[in-house]
Structure 1
């Protein structure tokens, strides 16, 4: 019999697991040293007084009553001025290698789409690395459109500090 997959919202008790997923994703994306997140930061920012993002976790349950965390999605809301409504932004989606091919990535995205509709979001967006051909094909197969005319801009580290102090 095929394993059962269930999607559950993360709780504060899952902070360590969420950090494991983040580190595994960074490894997959060929940048393991970029992770600065700690359990303390995740606890504060995901479950503290000001919650900046949410997480859902996919579990695979077998017939023997065992449950294994298989993947996660971390998301937050943005806002579209043109639509006048919030959007749902998927920051991270990751399924552990041994669980790929079971439809877990699709199930996580379906869950987020359900949340977006329930919360009256005008759209759902995410980015994908240009070298990640399997993910690109997966997303296109789900009906995603690539927004190639939009270029992501980022200010972080010293540049963020300089900008906060009035610019260069």
Structure 2
């Protein structure tokens, strides 16, 4: 496999394509490249690329975007929801989550240029108080605690279905 070199946006994605084309010489340079077929190979490739990026110590936002975000390495290697959910239950995924957590611990001198968004979440005051107490006990901010919780994979069965009601015109 070739070296990633210096980290740049989407470097991991192009690296995945480069390493695949070198291992599969039957593909022409203009062919649409597919990720390695074997699930174990794809898991290892996702972990390898994430590890290469992690060693470059990018901002955590960039790491998330390039590895776990929409259009990132993981979504390219595991394009279906079922494949991605299966990958999220693996040791490789857990290790990638640990890399992300380590990057989030580091204070970056310059922030990633990705704009931030604000969401408003309505919740019972008892849940808010519970989160506040948890953040205090972990010596972190509510914002960091909530982002940490949002980055975790949860079982689909634990998400209540939303019944959409049409407003009458």
TM-score of the superposed pair, with normalisation by structure 1: 0.30
**Which structure has greater helix proportion?**
2
TM-score of the superposed pair, with normalisation by structure 2: 0.30
Question: Could you say which structure has the larger radius of gyration?
Answer: 2
